Chain A
Amino acid sequence: MPSPSSPPRAHGPTTSREQPPSIRRAPPSRCSRVNCRPADSAAPDQLPSGNMIVCVAVVGHQNNPLYLQSFTEADDALKLHHVVHCSLDVIDERVNNPKRSAPTLNETFLGLLYPTENYKVYGYLTNTKVKFLMVTTDLDVKDADARNFFRKFHAAYVDAVSNPFHVPGKKIASRSFGARVSTIVKSFGSGTVG
């Protein structure tokens, strides 16, 4: 039954219909008002729809999970982790057979990895072979937004691993990293526009 995933799906298209790209590029004051209203007025039940990213992950160079966090109220964490897990194979494939993605050769941003009916998975692979993954329910994400998100996410990661108490290759336990990531996730699709 697709019951856990249907609420965000139902909200996703409606919000995107309310804000077509032309309106998103409207003057900042109007833009922010449009985006803020759902979060301010009806926060409890509309939170999942404003929060278009449902899961983020950082995976080390040996495919060891460094950070895995889902942002849904529904009990579908396992499903999201499965989606993340499957996407790792797609990254491996992209990197080892670069012919198929010739224009984006060696770029850190890998683009859309793995579209399913409910989710889209975007990937990012750093020079140090650390993989960043983002699962979103928004089915029309702009590449620039995703890129921007990963840039901030990567910056947060770099700051977290620069902590002398962080052990390389171990899970990131830093609470401030978690807080920073959830801020970035929340700003995705609202703060980044305009």
Chain B
Amino acid sequence: MGREVSESCVDGVVMEMVAAYCGRFYAAKPELAAGRIEAIGFQVGHQLSERYTMERPRFTDHLEAIKFICKDFWSELFKKQIDNLKTNHRGTFVLQDNHFRWLTRVSLDPAVENTDATENDSGSLGDSAAQTTSMLLYFPCGLIRGALTNLGIPCAVSADMSNLPACSFVVRIKT
């Protein structure tokens, strides 16, 4: 698949932002760094949702807004739609992306993974690698939360990644 320069730039900016907040500004407090990155995502999502909903009629219910996120919003951002949407019909939605663009260039260092598997003592090393990767997901979480909040749906969004390029976002709507 073709890859545009601007896309690589966005990748670079996201990674550098995460690195800057985690490694320099709030090196000692990862929760604070996560909060800050999420807040940036929130603002961006807030603004983008205003722009991308400009030409469409108002949404009648939550599902319609979530579908908008899955289809149009995601297409605008990542040139693809969310692959799978699940819901319990009680305010929880799971948005699964099997090939999340911002994670396609991320890989865990195999050396770290191997030591992690063999030696239990260095488990913290593997943890920190996973933590670094999960830091990358606070920004998209904020994007989703910002967009939905602007559409009048207050919610909490968390991300989960099991095997790397795939990840899922869990949206819990606050009632």
**Residues of A bordering B, CB below 8 Å:** 61, 105-108, 125-130, 154-155, 157-158, 161-162, 164, 168
Contacts and interface: CB of A to CB of B under 8 A. Distances in A.
B51 interface: yes
Q: Ordered nearest first, which 5 A-B pairs have the shortest CB separation?
A: A127-B53, A106-B57, A106-B58, A162-B47, A128-B150
A129 B152 contact: yes
B151 interface: yes
Interface in B18-66: 43, 46-47, 49-51, 53-54, 56-60
B150 A108 contact: no
A168 B46 contact: yes
Interface of B: 43, 46-47, 49-51, 53-54, 56-60, 150-152
A168 B45 CA distance: 12
B47 A128 contact: no
Most buried by A among B50, B60, B150, B151: B50
A126 B50 contact: yes
Contacts of A127: 49, 53, 56, 58-59, 151
Contacts of B49: 127-128
Contacts, number: 44
A126 B51 contact: no
B50 A128 contact: yes
Contact of B54 (A125, A129, A155, A164): A155
Contact of A108 (B50, B58, B151): B58
Contacts of A126: 50, 53-54, 58
Given A127-B151, A128-B150, A128-B151, A162 B51 contact: yes
Nearest to A130: B50
B26 to A, nearest CB: 21
B57 A108 contact: yes
20 contacts: A61-B152, A106-B57, A106-B59, A107-B57, A108-B56, A108-B58, A126-B54, A126-B58, A127-B53, A127-B56, A127-B58, A127-B59, A127-B151, A128-B152, A129-B152, A158-B51, A162-B50, A162-B51, A168-B43, A168-B46
